[in-house]
Amino acid sequence: MSLLSPEERRTLIALSRLAYANPFLPERIALEREVLEEAFVWTDAAWHRRIDMDGQPPNIDLLTRKVSGLIAKLRRRWLAGERVSDREARLYEDAVLFYLYNRHHPSFNELLHEVDGAGRYPRCEAPFYREFLQDLEHYFGLPPVPSVSSSATFVSLEESVHLFACFYQLRRAFHFIHGNILGGSMSAARFRASVWESIFTRDMRRYQRSLYNRMEDIATLITGPSGTGKELVAQAIGYAPYIPFDPSRLRFVKDYRASYHPLNLAAFSPTLIESELFGHKKGAYTGALEDRLGWFEVCGPHGSVFLDEVGDIDPAIQVKLLRIIQNRTFQRIGDTATYIFEGKLVSATSRDLAADMRAGRFREDLYYRLCSDIIETPSLRDQIRETPEHLHHLILYIAQRVGGEEEYESLAHEAETWIHEHLGDDYPWDGNVRELEQCVRNIMVRQSYRPPSVRAATAREELAAAVVDARLTSDELLRHYFTLVYGETRNYSEAARRLDVDARTVKGHVDHSLLERYGLGAPSG
């Protein structure tokens, strides 16, 4: 007799796939429904952070309870000597690990937010590892059963330490991806899933088996328009490395918050960039009054260095950066000793690196060392076009951060109303989330927001000169003026409000060739 009934087997196969699935992809929903059947509670396909939802989605608790009952039943059968196949043993193992991860979720969560008496993050101690070991012994410490094939081995003590470290990494990765990348659009969901794959690859089983200590060799390049949250993506990756656990001391070997080292290259001169990255010896240059460790040396194993605006670095530093990626070695400025970079390199740019390479401003060989893994951040415009309510969720979170818990709802309502009435629903948000945040702040302070119009200065001067010189007919004047106002607002509704006409009248007078001539781009819709 088989250990599993056909229905139990179907449930455990779906659960096994769910346990190793990317949690931010819609397939998770289908697998949850397959496991829970009629108990399934409908939820958003895009698993995203929402102000109106406390804690985890309801299906997680339902899944945990169902799996708890199922593995208890299977364990009793196993102990009673029922026949167990290799496949059934593997399904049982996946179900137990799924259950234990969710069972110890609150403890990992406390560790994630733990602070010491001075408010420092965190202390890294995890005494609940003892309880975790007891659970492993309970579910996997089964007496030998002759009917189990020799390949169906369970968790050794060494593997338990590794599992514990993997569980903590999973918790950190989910926490920071879920918290840093907001929005319920499918493009936002795919974006979160892409960051998850950057940490764990597309194959979680392979990662757990062997890749967990090799990801430092994969350089990640984050691309996308300015203001789309590239630094938040880097932070999510930087806060979620695999950090080994020391069972003799009941603590993780490194503070995850001390493992991430960001540097905005655009904010430093080439000399300072080189010193920040590689360090220097005392007397290496004027002002080098003592030895200094650079980020590549401070990083150490299980850490990452984030280079923001990597496309702006000086060609001489590009050569040195290429060398450290190729050989993993570097020297401090003014030093002959060789040091090893043991961490992961994450970089970001809003520049068109392909164009920079064609123009000779960025080394092609460096680019191909940086792009082992590429994440592209979506623009706010594209996300709103796909899911209009995405704007509502973002405004809520921004208002909460800006106005606090007591005021965020009223502030969000004011901001949404003002944006709808004055910018319209098709405003392009060229500055992305960063512009939206400043818009909300402006509305809170002054109950208004003026979009940037720097690009339109030349167009204004050209139109003013044409009017003064009487070079335009009445029809040409309307065409030029309507085009200019639309070009400044990038929105037909707002242009119509300013001109006190119907939006269709604005559309009828906007000249596409004039937009390009004035440097205002093509119409956005």
Sequence-separated (6 or more) residues with CB below 8 Å from residue 452: 430, 431
Is beta strand 260-264 parallel, antiparallel or unpaired with respect to 304-308?
A: parallel
Share of the chain above pLDDT 90, in %: 50
Paired with 305 in beta bridges are: 261, 345
Q: What is the pTM of this model?
A: 0.81
| Cα of 266 vs its chain's centroid, Å | 22
pLDDT tens column, 341-359: 999 999 999 988 998 899 8
Show me where the domains of the chain are located.
6-143+151-182, 230-376, 380-446, 454-517
**pLDDT at position 131:** 94
CA–CA distance, 302 with 254 (Å, rounded to integer): 8
Tell me which range, 32-41, 74-83, 266-275, is most confidently predicted by mean pLDDT: 32-41
pLDDT tens column, 25-72: 988 889 999 999 999 888 766 666 666 555 567 789 999 999 999 999
Is beta strand 373-376 parallel, antiparallel or unpaired with respect to 220-223?
A: parallel
The two structure tokens encoding residue 376: 């592209």
The owner of tokens 């390009």 is 516
Rg of the chain over Cα atoms, rounded to whole angstroms, equals: 28
pLDDT tens column, 395-443: 998 999 898 988 999 999 999 999 999 888 888 898 999 999 999 999 9
Q: Which CATH number fits domain 230-376: 3.40.50.280, 3.90.1640.30, 3.40.50.12500, 3.40.50.300?
A: 3.40.50.300
